[in-house]
Homo-oligomer: A and B are copies of this chain.
Amino acid sequence: MTENPTPENQPQNDASERMDIRTIARLANVSIATVSRTINRVPTVNTKMAKRVWDVIEKLDFVPNTQARALVSGRSKLFGLLVSEITNPFFPELIQGFEEIAVENGYEILISSTNHDPKRMSHCIRRMLERKVEGVAIMTFGIEEPLLDQLAKRKVPLVFIDVGPDRPGISVLKVDYHHGIRQAVQHLAALGHRKIAFVSGPMQLHSAQSRLAAYTRSMNECGIVPDPSWIVEGDHTLEGGAAAMEKLLAQENLATAVLCSNDMTAIGVLHKLYRTGKRVPDDISVIGFDDIHIAEVTMPPLTTIQMSRFEIAKAAFDALQSQVESPNALIGKREFNIKTELIVRESTSYPRGTMEHLRKK
């Protein structure tokens, strides 16, 4: 005999019943307003009633509907987070920090990876607007002005990394590229390098320009005028790094060290060098930028300039939060400075043919 389980013999909790604040109110013998207050921990609620409410909520395993809450309160408790390349390990590390802080503060985040595609970026922003994000962190190191307007026009608080317009409601995290890059150049110069190449990021990115400028300035500070052939444009990817190194290798005036705009580039450079049979750091030194986790285990471990993801995530969140919570724009006008710092590992050494006596066998 086929025994069809009928709706009747279901477990006690009748899940079929629609569950909302009203159900809770009825079962706890209070008004829906009281339930709402209880859930929102309004302090004036009578302890006894609150307990009654909580009991019912727990028993029914009730979960309030954020959408309804957001709709009536006007607070979505959502932040957008725009990154350029989620597959570049720098960003997941940043996302992790941002998410953690956001969640701690009762926010959810909508993540989008633009992959440098303006069309995608535009769609992302649109979707964020539809979801009524309360702010967005634009961690793309560069942005198309028109897209920004979409957000700014609606007075959505924004935080940029590195570059962004100076308007009320818009915060900018200023990265001190020069500090770390100068340390890197000086480290190299102290080792005896003069011919220091630079693999930049995509030059349409403001950050790429800033990093390049910091390099040039740092070189000058050491009394070196960089040969233009030492500067080659990469794109922040493994492949870009490898291609850049290939170009560098074809150069007449071969550099003895190469400073890279990010770690992925540096890893690409390392790989190309490996492919060409050059040894790092014996034949050539290389320095990265970011200090992503795997930089510790490249071969050799990468000397790099650290830029703290956590610090960035924290600053970005704080900027957004203060804009949102304080209607007063001035309070939000804090300065956010991100430091960079050289981490010396093993991809840098004396230039070939010098200091042989000092070199570790």
Contact = CB atoms under 8 A, between A and B. Distances in A.
Given A89-B89, A91-B92, A274-B299, A63 B126 contact: yes
Contacts of A67: 67, 70-71, 76, 131-132
A87 B93 contact: yes
Contacts of A130: 63-66
Contact of A108 (B110, B242, B267, B296): B110
Contact of A96 (B76, B86, B127, B238): B86
Nearest to A150: B61
B293 A238 contact: yes
Given A15-B153, A71-B67, A293 B93 contact: no
Contacts of A268: 297
Contacts of A297: 238, 242, 267-268, 270-271
B113 A127 contact: no
A305 to B, nearest CB: 20
Residues of A contacting B: mostly: helix
A28 interface: no
Interface in A88-112: 89, 91-93, 95-96, 99, 103, 108-112
B61 A238 contact: no
A225 interface: no
Nearest to A299: B299
Given A61-B153, A63-B129, A113 B87 contact: no
A343 B316 CA distance: 40
A241 to B, nearest CB: 9
A27 interface: no
A269 to B, nearest CB: 10
A358 interface: no
A222 interface: no
Interface residues on A, range: 35 or more
Interface string A329-345: 00000000000000000
A307 to B, nearest CB: 16
A203 interface: no
Contacts of A71: 65, 67-68, 71
A129 B108 CA distance: 12
A270 B296 CA distance: 12
A111 B108 CA distance: 9
A96 B113 contact: yes
Contacts of A293: 87, 238
Contacts of A116: none
A190 interface: no
A66 B131 contact: yes
A294 interface: yes
Contacts of A267: 294, 297
A124 B61 CA distance: 16
A352 interface: no
